[in-house]
Structure 1
Amino acid sequence: MSSPNQDIYSLNPSQVWSGFKSLLPISCFVAIFGGAFGLAATQAGLDNSSIVLMSTLVFAGASQFATLELWGEQISLVPLVITVFFINARHLLMG
């Protein structure tokens, strides 16, 4: 006999497809933003692995672009990490 709570956690293909369709407009914007960041990062001189790593590890797009502004100068990694942290810290207030 199955418990009523077990049905809540089952993976229903129709619900997954419905969720996919509802998130599609947001995904299109994310793809466009990712393309813009990739283009800007390529022009700043980053290689492909650095671009993918930054897109994976950095939460806010604003801090990605702020880091690109500092990238060309002779600056160490610590100020870059601090800049990204403080730009992302605004999300703590919203959370």
Structure 2
Amino acid sequence: MLVDFATTVGSVVFFELTDTDNLPPLGTEVFDQNNQAIGVVAQGGKIYTRGVAKSGELHIRWGDKQCRAEYTIPEQESNDQMLIVPIRCRFE
């Protein structure tokens, strides 16, 4: 039996939150500026994303807290290496 699944196509980018005093819980969903789910918070304040734009905003909400972080993905010489982009989340 064949089953169709909706998938997201795009490069994987890890963002790393630099403010380690206010890390969101593991598994917190991350959204882009269009309120589209694009990733999830992993261990140690890293955010796993797929299919993000070259620049934009990440929105993270958990409990009664929320923050947003602007980002720009730098050009890579090779797609073989994992890309980690440091970001700072501004609380609203």
TM-score (norm 1): 0.28
Give the number of the structure whose residues are more often helix, by fraction. Answer: 1
Whose RCO is larger (CA < 8 A, sep 6+)? 2
Q: Which has the larger radius of gyration?
A: 1
